[in-house]
Chain A
């Protein structure tokens, strides 16, 4: 649900916040006991978009070499693996702040339905990885014609 204010932008939407919190809770519980357990956010974060023909998965993954990212699609799961090397620091230098996550990462994202792996395209731009996944014909929404008796 989007509330639009009179400037045309989005104003504070409590439902959106609740949905985000619910997602965060599910992830926390799903990951409890594993390495990426309580309190730690998975890296990289993903957003999932849909339209009639495709799914679009976007990941915030700044400063990586696209050659070092491995995207695999099996049925309804997309796995993204890669490595984000730490910044090379000259000897004698010291960190005052180190907030940016580094090191190897892997994320497996379960999609709402199985996709056609041959219709997959991945694009890396401005630090955002976008993976477009095609819906197979059987998964596309169909219009049903209503007839009178």
Chain B
């Protein structure tokens, strides 16, 4: 399972703080906003995979969950936090959008994925297919 739920960072260690997302080797970033990798927990039970992601600053309308073949992409758009007239004097975290990509195992039912966001935490429930649909193809002699 660890092999299939492999994220784009290829980093098995825990990175516990917000890190800026890397652009693929040799490519350059063209958008002005910064993009960060959100921290996630991934829990597997018998009937589903649950992915929980911290995306502080993201509203319901700012979340995008995209499933494309075996890729799962989560994106969150963050509104600026500093009100007008305020100047930043001390900074421990950067503000920007979130994006992270995961590869999905085949046993996930792509049509039944549910997403919910509350207080900046995105929770994705990815149910497993009831029974792996294996089909035997009959071969007829020509």
A interface residue numbers (CB < 8 A to B): 5, 7-11, 19-20, 23, 27, 40-42, 45-52, 54, 56, 58, 60-64, 87, 89-90, 92-101, 112, 124, 126-128, 130
Contacts and interface: CB of A to CB of B under 8 A. Distances in A.
B56 A126 contact: yes
Contacts, number: 139
Given A50-B87, A97-B42, 16 more contacts: A45-B17, A46-B92, A47-B90, A47-B92, A47-B95, A49-B82, A50-B86, A58-B82, A61-B56, A87-B41, A90-B45, A95-B41, A100-B41, A124-B119, A128-B57, A128-B81
B56 to A, nearest CB: 4
16 contacts: A7-B32, A19-B91, A20-B94, A46-B93, A47-B93, A60-B57, A61-B56, A62-B120, A63-B118, A63-B121, A93-B44, A100-B39, A100-B54, A101-B16, A127-B119, A128-B120
A127 B90 contact: no
Contacts of B136: none
Interface residues of B, number: 46
A89 B43 contact: yes
B74 interface: no
